[in-house]
Structure 1
Amino acid sequence: MDLEVRHLRALCAIADTGSLHKAARALGVAQPTLSTQLRRIEQAVGGALFTRERTGCRPTPLGRALLGRARPLVAEMRALVTDTRAAAGRTADGTQLLIGSTASRALPGWLRRLRMRYPRTEPTLQMDVSPNALLRMVAEGQLDVAFVHEVEGSPLRFPAELRTRVLVEREPQFVALAADHPAAARRTVALTELADDRWMVDSTVDGEWDALSRVLRAAGLSPRVLHGDYLTAYTLVADGEVVTVSQPTTRPRPDTAVRPLVGDPIGVRLFLAARTEAELEAVYDDLSDAYWEVAREAPAYREWLAGRDRPGIGRPRSPLASAADTP
């Protein structure tokens, strides 16, 4: 087996995160896949590169020696890819706008507005469940801007060079349940009304499972939990198999009800990140308009907003904030 750049990237990720689980998430692969890859690399070099301890993975002397040679190569390859993508993105009549985002119903309206505002620029979209991964891609020049969320109580890792602009300081997370669920008849749902339900959560989303488990424990609940993607979750919700956390802007469906939780125990902060203030300025207003458009189209969220001062929840604390100013 010959070592390739992807193998070196995997070794650097394990060393940087100190964990196979975290490294797998950062690389976008399953942990068993990464574990198998590490074993093959160690077989190829003829020795263990990491010691597995209760607190995580630490490089062995052989691992440190290899990492010392690998890091400059990985950095050089990253710079090469960044520069090549930037060159490929330029066209004769304009440029590409490289956008990253976690899931949001505002995306179609945002892209449509950007095409109208900048007809010579083609926006492209990179989706990822991990806000941390998208922020890292912006910092490395692989993306121009990222629209991400930060789950309350689970701070993201902000590269110091990024600038941010907050769209919504605290967006409440609602609950999705079957339309014929007894609690669906209520305007707001208490967690205790869902004590006998199975929950489903995508634990690959940064902070998602931690937030849900915290609020369930605070409510004295210990329900059965399934782990999977939210597309599958909504299918199971419609069949009455599970309930799940939902963005308040979720489009209404006849077989599903989306309701606020009593006390709004789960919240996220929505914001844009870019390397320069100019990049933020160029796309923020269109994103804001697209977001509030879909907010008005969601009956439960529209009603929730009606009794609140929208500017207080929908505007940043200051027009522009650096990553260092972000709690």
Structure 2
Amino acid sequence: MNIRFLRTFCAVADKGSLAAAARALGLANASVAEQIRALERSLGASLTIRRGQTVTLTEAGQAVLGSARAIVAQADELAQIAQAGALRGRLRVGAISTELTALLPGTLRQLAACHPEIDLKVVPGTSMGLLAMIETGDIDCALMVRAPFALPKSLSWQAVRLEPLILAVPAAMREDSVAAAIKGAPFIRMDRNAWTGQIVTRYLASRQILVRELFELDAPETIVALVSEGLGVSLLPDWGITPPVGRDLRIIPTEDIRYSREIGLLGRRGPASSLIDAFWRILYDEAAR
């Protein structure tokens, strides 16, 4: 039985269409269709049903999907074992925007020096979006905010660092009290639906601080730019905040560790686990520096 055909079948099941599976695998639509037909001939059963642009699995397809996934995973693991312990292969890493500039540059430099055989691809996104990409198999792991809910056991979480909650204020503002500074200026809020925004909302509620909201957006670097322009104040995790060139701002600590943002590496357990672990170790060391 051809492992490549099983891998294609799993991709079709995950993506729900031949075209989407073809894009994910880097194949032509016709090649994907032919591989599925070849697999069906070898098994003597119809595995898929096409309905317009979408594809659903037959009962036989549903029955063999779990075993197909296991065989593909074992084949991937064998390929790594055959390298006699050398860390090599493809690793697809997602990252939220703040960590793309704060942690990744030094991490990638060290990774290239220590593990040059790892072929790494970086994908930007939000924490919620990156979690969805891990679940669909589009990436292997993600540097992101810890989810505010329990995750399935098929995923692993490795903490990297805590980012304390601070209040960013214009450089000219002389207030040193978080509550007084918020009450005295327009408030630029992190999107309350984002996981970081939920931390901000909990902090404000715990202090019973009412805000005069000016903007709400899920773009922390843009918020920093707006604060440095003097438009308002904002509660943010301190990922190593720096204002745009030629601008300035002040940082007032909240001094409450309960509202720190935990950043870590979320990964899928499986063939890429050894690569994910190696990447995490370098990330952790970079955060400690």
Identify the TM-score tier after normalising by the shorter chain.
Answer: 0.5 to 0.7
> Does 2:220 correspond to 1:230?
yes
Deviation (angstroms), 1:132: 2.9
The answer as to whether partners of 2:190 and 2:200 remain within 8 angstroms in 1 is no
The answer as to whether partners of 2:267 and 2:276 remain within 8 angstroms in 1 is yes
Match of 1:192 in 2: 180
Deviation (angstroms), 1:100: 0.7
Match of 2:119 in 1: 122
Match of 2:29 in 1: none
Q: Secondary structure at the match of 2:261?
A: strand
Give 2:156's match in structure 1, choosing from 153, 163, 168: 163
Check 1:205–1:116 CA distance in 2 against 1; reply closer, same or farther (3 A cut): farther
Q: Please identify the structure whose Cα radius of gyration is greater.
A: 2
Check 1:174–1:72 CA distance in 2 against 1; reply closer, same or farther (3 A cut): farther
Give 1:113's match in structure 2, choosing from 110, 130, 148: 110
> Does 2:145 correspond to 1:149?
yes
Deviation (angstroms), 1:227: 0.8
Give 1:100's match in structure 2, choosing from 82, 91, 94: 94
Check 1:220–1:164 CA distance in 2 against 1; reply closer, same or farther (3 A cut): closer
Alpha carbon RMSD of aligned pairs, Å? 3.4
Residue identity in the other structure for 1:159: P
C-alpha offsets along residues 18-71 of structure 1, whole Å, 9 cap, x if unaligned? xxxxxxxxxxxxxxxxxxxxxxxxxxxxxxxxxxxxxxxxxxxxxxxx9xx876
Deviation (angstroms), 1:203: 1.2
Give the total of aligned pairs: 207
Distance 1:222 1:70 in 2: 51
Check 1:266–1:70 CA distance in 2 against 1; reply closer, same or farther (3 A cut): farther
C-alpha offsets along residues 226-283 of structure 1, whole Å, 9 cap, x if unaligned? 1122232122101211112233232444511223114345222222122234243211
Residue identity in the other structure for 2:118: T
What 5-or-longer segments of structure 1 have no aligned partner?
10-65, 88-93, 294-327
Moved more, 158-167 or 206-215: 206-215
Q: Secondary structure at the match of 1:218?
A: helix
The answer as to whether partners of 1:138 and 1:274 remain within 8 angstroms in 2 is yes
Match of 2:208 in 1: 220
The answer as to whether partners of 1:237 and 1:256 remain within 8 angstroms in 2 is yes
Residue identity in the other structure for 1:260: P
Check 1:125–1:163 CA distance in 2 against 1; reply closer, same or farther (3 A cut): same
Match of 2:173 in 1: 181
TM, length-normalised to structure 2: 0.60
Deviation (angstroms), 1:287: 0.2
> Does 2:278 correspond to 1:282?
yes
Deviation (angstroms), 1:121: 2.5
Distance 2:193 2:282 in 1: 26
TM, length-normalised to structure 1: 0.54
Distance 2:282 2:248 in 1: 32
What 5-or-longer segments of structure 2 have no aligned partner?
1-11, 17-50, 77-87
Deviation (angstroms), 1:208: 2.8
- % identical aligned pairs: 19
> Does 2:248 correspond to 1:255?
yes
Residue identity in the other structure for 1:174: I
Distance 1:158 1:70 in 2: 28
